[in-house]
């Protein structure tokens, strides 16, 4: 498997608290993604990055922010978590060539009470 590590793997927190999820890669891939996965909705793109300090919004970006200060790290922040953000979050990486697949991390299960 590609070198992708998500942390934490599980988190329970309360509404209104800030939460940061980390994605770390050892593949030196240019692109990194954050998805959320909810029953009946498949994988929905939150934000993605196409280089250090270069990020763009996905289809469900409201309530989330991201940062990428180094090639290997992509952080997802929920400034003030809400119960609707309870989900499984996946990070993915892509080398940037059309014949390459995305490689996914193991996911973070986030519960907001």
- Please list the residues that pair with 21 across neighbouring strands: 76
> Cβ of residue 18: shortest distance to other proteins, in angstroms?
25
Quick one: 53 or 99, whose CB is closer to other proteins?
A: 99
Q: Do residues 109 and 13 touch, judged by C-beta distance below 8 A?
A: no
Residue 7 binding other proteins, by CB under 8 A: no
62 scored as a contact of other proteins (CB under 8 A)? no
Any contact of residue 90 with other proteins (CB under 8 A)? yes
* Site membership for other proteins, residue 45 (CB under 8 A): yes
Region of residue 68 (left: phi > 0; alpha: psi -120 to 50; beta: else): beta
Distance CA 19, CA 46 (A): 15
Nearer Cβ to other proteins, position 73 or 104?
104
Both ends of the chain: CA-CA distance in Å? 33
Enumerate binding residues for other proteins (CB under 8 A): 31, 35, 40-45, 48, 50, 56, 58-59, 90, 94, 96, 98-99, 101-107
């Amino acid at each position: 498997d590609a070198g992708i590590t998500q942390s934490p793997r599980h988190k329970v927190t309360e509404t209104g608290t800030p939460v940061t999820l980390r994605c770390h890669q050892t593949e030196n891939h240019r692109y990194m993604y954050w998805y959320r996965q909810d029953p009946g909705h498949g994988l929905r793109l939150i934000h993605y990055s196409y280089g250090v300090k270069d990020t763009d919004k996905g289809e469900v970006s409201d309530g989330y922010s991201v940062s990428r200060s180094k090639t290997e790290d992509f952080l997802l922040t929920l400034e003030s978590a809400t119960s609707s953000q309870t989900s499984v979050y996946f990070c993915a990486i892509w080398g940037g060539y059309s014949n390459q697949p995305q490689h996914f991390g193991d996911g973070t299960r986030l519960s907001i009470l």
